[in-house]
Amino acid sequence: MPLNPPAIDSLHDILPEEPLLMMGAGPVPIPEPVAAANGIVINHLGETMARVLDQVKRMGRYIFQTETPWIMGVAGPGSAAMEMAVINLVTPGCRVLSICNGFFSHRLSEMASRVGGNVERWTVPDGQSADPEQIVEVIKRFRPQVLTMVQGETSNTTFNHRLPEIAKVASEHDCLVVVDAVCTLSTMPLKMDEWQVDAVITGGQKGLSCIPGVSLVAFSEKAWAHIENRSQPVAHWTLDAKLAANFWHKASYHYTAPVSGLLALHEAMRLVCDETLARRYERHRVCSQALQAGIERLGLELYVPKAARLNSVVGIRLPENMPAATVCGHISKHYRVEIAGSFGPPIVRIGQMGEQCRVHNLFRTLHALGSTFKDLGVAVEVPAAMAELENALQRQKRGSEL
């Protein structure tokens, strides 16, 4: 019996008439030039692509703040870039220290362990960032060859603000430092060379405000020497960095690159360069902190204390007995704003990455959040919070162009 084609609705019928404002933990809204570039297909090899790749690498050096030539894209999610960094640097039996702040940093440790790494996990309690004084003791005892950590832990909105000190001490002990900057890259300072980081990972759909599914990884010269010298080939052909270098550095074939995604990435990175990192960091800081002030003025509690709080994703503690799904469902249905639940802690999360950090999006989101809690019977002060948002922006702006 031949199978008949299924009855299918057109996308037009599936997609909402009025798009939702994507204020969750990623993907985030994309600027028009990124969307337009994503609609183009060109040859994956040849002169035009070579120019695109050359510019992506040059922009990457600026955005990662590094002089390393070893920047390459990955056809895949942020997780594929994580995996590419981990499996090219970790060999069986290699001692790996994984600083675990939550879901994503734990994923790095899992990847290291799956390729046979001898993984020690250092678990940081929720609400705190990793403490270099403690890490140095573990480094001295365990003598890791690779250290993995996140700059920002999206899952519970923690910021490892002492990353520079941790990377420095690890480097001094001859340990390669792998940093996941998926949600933070281009939203806050990350100085790969100055901080002696050996591999930086990012995805498209968060800090860079690009599409999901195309990612970037940068390896230091030291990390690259390690990759060149490994005796055993990497088990995963597609994520083998040496093979990827054929495409990224020798204009030859590895696999058919996600050309549309790379064009989109090019545009997202060009917009970062146009804005400059300094102004972009400032925009993220000002917007996120103003939003946080507004949320607190509503009468809600931010999940992470100020010292360890991430600006890129803001975590809001839920009132007792109120599931995240109720809040996320209500705000989406009634206010057409999408926010995120969590993978564990009793919070909802609002993203402050890329296009999410625009003043008009802050007002709409704070109003939607406040109104949602009010509808759900929580005593919140919406007018006062809206005024606080405006006041906080005025206080913080100091002439920055938002």
Ligand X SMILES: *Cc1c(COP(=O)(O)O)cnc(C)c1O
Q: Which of 214, 141, 144, 217 is nearest to 177 (CA)?
A: 144
Selected from 24, 73, 78, 144, the binder of ligand X by CB under 6 A is 78
- Amino acid identity at 384: A
- x/- mask, ligand X, residues 36-75, rule CB under 6 A, reads ----------------------------------------
**What minimum distance in Å lies between the beta carbon of 172 and ligand X?**
25
**What minimum distance in Å lies between the beta carbon of 206 and ligand X?**
6
Kindly tell me which of 117 and 203 has the beta carbon lying closer to ligand X.
Answer: 203
Question: What is the β-pairing status of strands 199-202 and 214-219?
Answer: antiparallel
In Å, what is the CA distance from 337 to each residue of 227, 297, 326, 374?
A: 44, 20, 14, 16
> Rounded CA gap, 31 and 37, in Å?
10
- x/- mask, ligand X, residues 156-175, rule CB under 6 A, reads --------------------
**What minimum distance in Å lies between the beta carbon of 310 and ligand X?**
10
> Rounded CA gap, 80 and 232, in Å?
20
**What minimum distance in Å lies between the beta carbon of 212 and ligand X?**
6
**What minimum distance in Å lies between the beta carbon of 353 and ligand X?**
9
Determine if 351 is a binding residue for ligand X (CB under 6 A).
no
Kindly tell me which of 26 and 132 has the beta carbon lying closer to ligand X.
Answer: 26
Sheet holding 313-317, edge to edge: 301-302, 313-317, 347-351
Determine if 24 is a binding residue for ligand X (CB under 6 A).
no
Residue nearest to ligand X (CB): 78
Q: Report DSSP letters for 243-282, one per residue.
A: HHHHHHHHS--SS---HHHHHHHHHHHHHHHHH-HHHHHH
Contacts with 215 (C-beta within 8 Å, 6 or more apart), sequence order: 73, 74, 76, 77, 78, 80, 81, 182, 201, 202, 203, 204
**What minimum distance in Å lies between the beta carbon of 151 and ligand X?**
8
In the chain the first and final C-alpha atoms are separated, in Å, by 61
Kindly tell me which of 202 and 361 has the beta carbon lying closer to ligand X.
Answer: 202
Q: How far is CA 181 from the centre of its chain?
A: 5
Determine if 388 is a binding residue for ligand X (CB under 6 A).
no
Kindly tell me which of 167 and 183 has the beta carbon lying closer to ligand X.
Answer: 183
Determine if 289 is a binding residue for ligand X (CB under 6 A).
no
Selected from 66, 101, 154, 160, the binder of ligand X by CB under 6 A is 154
Kindly tell me which of 164 and 212 has the beta carbon lying closer to ligand X.
Answer: 212
Kindly tell me which of 150 and 347 has the beta carbon lying closer to ligand X.
Answer: 150
Determine if 315 is a binding residue for ligand X (CB under 6 A).
no
Choose one: 76-84, 191-199, 248-256, 270-278; the region binding ligand X (CB under 6 A). Answer: 76-84
Kindly tell me which of 84 and 316 has the beta carbon lying closer to ligand X.
Answer: 84
Q: Report DSSP letters for 15-75, one per residue.
A: S-SSPPEE-SSSS----HHHHHHTT----SSSHHHHHHHHHHHHHHHHHHT---S-EEEEE
Binding-site residue total for ligand X (CB under 6 A)? 14
Determine if 26 is a binding residue for ligand X (CB under 6 A).
yes
Kindly tell me which of 206 and 297 has the beta carbon lying closer to ligand X.
Answer: 206
**What per-residue string of b and e applies to 138-152 under the rule 16 or more CB within 10 Å gives b?**
ebeebebbbbbbbbb
Choose one: 44-52, 61-69, 77-85, 288-296; the region binding ligand X (CB under 6 A). Answer: 77-85
Contact call for residues 111 and 84 (beta carbons, < 8 A): no
Determine if 126 is a binding residue for ligand X (CB under 6 A).
no
Instruction: Scan for tokens 């690779």, then name that residue.
Output: 146
> Rounded CA gap, 294 and 77, in Å?
32
Binding to ligand X in span 200-259, by CB under 6 A: 203, 206, 212
* 385: number of Cβ within 10 Å: 22
Determine if 110 is a binding residue for ligand X (CB under 6 A).
no
Task: Tell me the two tokens of residue 291.
Answer: 């939003």
Contact call for residues 370 and 396 (beta carbons, < 8 A): no
* 173: number of Cβ within 10 Å: 14
Kindly tell me which of 158 and 171 has the beta carbon lying closer to ligand X.
Answer: 158
Contact call for residues 88 and 240 (beta carbons, < 8 A): yes
Determine if 182 is a binding residue for ligand X (CB under 6 A).
yes
Determine if 180 is a binding residue for ligand X (CB under 6 A).
yes
Q: Which residues bind ligand X (CB under 6 A)?
A: 26, 77-79, 82, 104, 150, 154, 180, 182-183, 203, 206, 212
